[in-house]
Structure 1
Amino acid sequence: MIKFIQDIFYKMGVIIKLVRPENNKWLQNRNLDYVLDIGANVGQYANLVHEILPTAKIISFEPIKACFDELVENTKCINVKTLNCALGDVNEQQEINISAHTPSSSLLNMADLHTEVFAGTDYVKKESITVRRLDDVFPELNISGKFMVKVDVQGFEDRVIKGGLETLKIADSVLIETSFEELYKDQLLFDGIYQLLIGIGYVFQGNYTQTFNKEDGRILYAESFFINTAKN
């Protein structure tokens, strides 16, 4: 039944990932004090990671105003600080493309493969948003403890890294969406993200989840986990 429901939503471009908190002792054992949730959408990951790490403080970044309002409402009962901005390699106003399926919204143009594989995710409008560099935001967060950075920003991952190199150098770990094929135009694929992170002392630990092309079963993207060897 669960697989049937997943398949129905997949055809609409909605990905349902099953992650059970009881299988996350590896993450609990990292003894994290904070989680930076970059690309929070409406709070899906914030609520999940709160189940896994109930004592960790979560700082969620979401630039789209309607999604941000839902994020605030959906996380009001857990320990979350919310910021209405995107993170990138510049500090400026930019236009984000909003998808009919909001988790697919991006500052980049959507590649043909994305619309072919995930029906119903076409862009429907644009919105002016604030983009900031993580290295400029981080001092304002008053973080004093061990933290993980989660990045899910629809092809904009390398810009987040480049704007947050100094912050990432002191983070414990990174959970980041990495693509193996171009889903957004001009995005950096897995190998490029891998090179950026190992260049500042990280090692790749494997994929937390993977999403496949339903037509032929090849892997399209994953949530990849890296740990900072300088901090461990």
Structure 2
Amino acid sequence: MGIKLQVGIAIEKSIDKLVQVNYKLLPFIPNGRILPLDLKRALIKPKTIFDIGANIGQTSNYFLKNFPDAEIYSFEPVAATYAQLAANVKSNKIHIYNEGLGAAVSNQTIYINDSSETSSLKDVDGKFSKTEVVKINTAQNFCTQNKIKEIDLLKIDVEGYELEVLDGLGPLLNNVKAIYSEVGFDKNDPNKTYFPDLLERCEKSGFITSGFYDPYRWGNGKLNVFYNVLLINTNLIDI
């Protein structure tokens, strides 16, 4: 981890801590600063959360801290990473699954990076040294099996595979209140789903852009390589 990234993370944590201890600051915090705050502003109190690309559980635990009444369904296909996820999850409110979600039920090869957060179902540059065959389910199939009719918050971080996850929702996408997804801004980067493509896909179901979070750029580059974006379903949430 580079020194600039370490400093940036430290500053982010300091600001978040300041806001937590001084609630008078909350009305002055703009959208795109703190995800749980923005969801509460949109009158979304998640009861059902999907964490797709759960990695080692950092986001699932963050969601649980902020939404303790929610049932969180966490999906991580890589065996070694899933083992870490299982070790890090201590609550029975977080349900973990050793599988990925995609457009169709299948077994697929995943390309494993030394940094587990960047393992991908797409071997776009041939730089991955390890592979593993993993189980892929669809969100629609999973929800049918588990009698889930509505998803309050759908978090997706799957290294360029986001559209396939949405395809696997089928008509259930109309029953998702909010999507929190990693997106890219370089249409030539196959490791990140190009934001206009994601937005075009979701607009058909009534989603609008509500906020951008955690911008990241490589080194001294001028291009913001990726963000996390919050999309709100206007067919389910008043704006």
Same fold (TM over 0.5): yes
Q: Is the 8 A contact 1:109 1:184 kept in 2?
A: no
Residue identity opposite 1:69 in structure 2: A
Which residue of structure 1 aligns with residue 177 of structure 2?
Answer: 172
**Residues 165, 145 of structure 1: alpha-carbon distance in 2 compared, 3 angstrom cutoff:** closer
In structure 1, give the amino acid aligned to 2:139.
L
Aligned to 1:117: none
1:141 maps to which of 146, 153, 178: 146
Q: Give every structure 1 segment of 4 or more consecutive aligned residues whose post-TM-superposition deviation is greater than 6 Å.
A: none
For 1:66, what is the secondary structure of its paired residue?
helix
Deviations 1:24-72 (A, max 9, x none): 3222341111110000011010011112212211100110011111111
Alignment-derived partner of residue 104 in structure 1: 118
Distance 1:94 1:69 in 2: 19
1: CA distance, partners of 2:200 / 2:57: 29
Q: How does 1:160-199 map to 2 (within 5 A)?
A: 160-181=165-186, 182-184=188-190, 188-199=193-204
1:203: how far off? 0.9
Name 2:97's counterpart in structure 1. 83
- For residue 30 of structure 1, what is the aligned residue in structure 2? 44
- Give the Cα separation in 1 of the matches to 2:125 and 2:202: 25
Q: Matched residues in 1 for 2:11 and 2:203: separation?
A: 27
Cα–Cα, structure 1 residues 218 and 17, in superposed 2: closer, same or farther, change >3 Å? farther
TM-score, scaled relative to structure 2? 0.81
> RMSD value over aligned CA atoms?
2.5
Q: Match of 1:118?
A: none
Q: CA deviation at 1:7?
A: 4.4
Percent same amino acid at aligned positions? 23
Would the alpha carbon gap of residues 221 and 162 (structure 1) be closer, same or farther in structure 2, given more than 3 Å must change?
Answer: same
Gaps of 5+ in 2: 21-33
Structure 1 gap segments, 5+ residues each: 113-121
What corresponds to 1:6 in structure 2? 5
Counterpart of 2:88 in structure 1 is 74
Distance between the aligned counterparts of 1:225 and 1:165, measured in 2? Answer: 20
TM-score (norm 1): 0.83
